[in-house]
A = this chain, B = another copy of it.
């Protein structure tokens, strides 16, 4: 949807105050990945709070982007506030909210249809907020099939889409229902994000992109994937926020998700070195995914306040 060609040249390093100011002048809106950019787990990265406050005082629009679909934007606001960062719902763009925007603005989801959700309250709350009725999710937690029930469980004829996100209460009951709905070709199949695993305090565990695999394998059908690095999330962003793509910059710590997300959408990207990817990786001539700019930390921009 954006005409600019992704950069394949060497990333520009931002190192001096003058370079910081010149960079900031180019953009009105920053899309900010959270973990590795703003915080590590529950610890804010140095200088972040002051930087965010200062950029806002300069009229910059800051939008926090997350693939996590388990929380609604209002729940995220609480997480931001608990870390001392001001945020309201309009500042948060999650894969669950993007899914709601997609169904409402892009698919024009019919008013007489419902969505079956394999996922958590982040999805059902956001769909409800745009006026879309849901079934499944927590309403199906604890429901169980016996082998003798397999041919007889009830189905809802009004289902027009199945949305899958992370669901810690996933079950054969939910898989079987979702599968049956999705055997109808006109039922949309949407995945909030495709992350194979996600980090926990005790290492990685299977993520949304893994939990959906039984459906993909049984149906031999691929879902539309919403979250980073896939483009529907960016399409939904511009459909909802109407910012100028040429003055919008994606900021992230991972080349394969955040930076690829911005590059594929043809917007400028800034890689910070406070998370997963390193300067050496970004500068590697064999690295196909290169950010437009790199900087040590997003917190560096506080230095432009004088």
Which residues does A use to contact B, with CB under 8 Å?
70, 144-147, 150-152, 167-172, 175-176, 179-180, 183, 196-197, 200-207, 209-211, 213-218, 220
Given contacts A147-B168, A150-B200, contact A205 B176 (CB under 8 A): yes
Chain B's closest residue to A145 (CB) is B168
A183 to B204, CA, bound (A): 10
Query: 3 tightest CB-CB pairs across the interface, nearest first?
Result: A151-B202, A213-B213, A151-B201
A200 to B168, CA, bound (A): 27
A145 to B169, CA, bound (A): 8
- For residue A201, which residues in chain B have a CB less than 8 angstroms away from its CB? 150-152
A167 to B147, CA, bound (A): 10
Query: Do B202 and A179 touch (CB < 8 A)?
Result: no
Query: Do B172 and A144 touch (CB < 8 A)?
Result: no
Could you jot down 22 A-B contacts, CB within 8 Å?
A144-B169, A146-B168, A150-B200, A150-B201, A150-B205, A152-B202, A168-B172, A171-B171, A172-B206, A175-B210, A175-B211, A180-B203, A183-B203, A196-B220, A197-B218, A206-B214, A206-B217, A210-B213, A210-B215, A210-B217, A210-B218, A214-B214
Query: Do B202 and A217 touch (CB < 8 A)?
Result: no
Query: Do B211 and A214 touch (CB < 8 A)?
Result: yes
- For residue A204, which residues in chain B have a CB less than 8 angstroms away from its CB? 183, 218
Assembly stoichiometry (copies) = 2
- For residue A215, which residues in chain B have a CB less than 8 angstroms away from its CB? 206, 210
Chain B's closest residue to A168 (CB) is B172
Query: Do A172 and B176 touch (CB < 8 A)?
Result: no
CB distance from A86 to the nearest CB of B (A): 25
A70 to B146, CA, bound (A): 12
CB distance from A100 to the nearest CB of B (A): 22
CB distance from A137 to the nearest CB of B (A): 14
CB distance from A69 to the nearest CB of B (A): 13
- For residue A169, which residues in chain B have a CB less than 8 angstroms away from its CB? 144, 171-172
Query: Do A170 and B172 touch (CB < 8 A)?
Result: yes
Query: Do A207 and B213 touch (CB < 8 A)?
Result: no
A169 to B149, CA, bound (A): 13
- For residue A218, which residues in chain B have a CB less than 8 angstroms away from its CB? 196-197, 204-207, 210
- For residue A168, which residues in chain B have a CB less than 8 angstroms away from its CB? 144-147, 172
Interface centre among A146, A183, A213, A216 (most CB of B within 10 A): A213
- For residue A147, which residues in chain B have a CB less than 8 angstroms away from its CB? 70, 168
Chain B's closest residue to A146 (CB) is B168
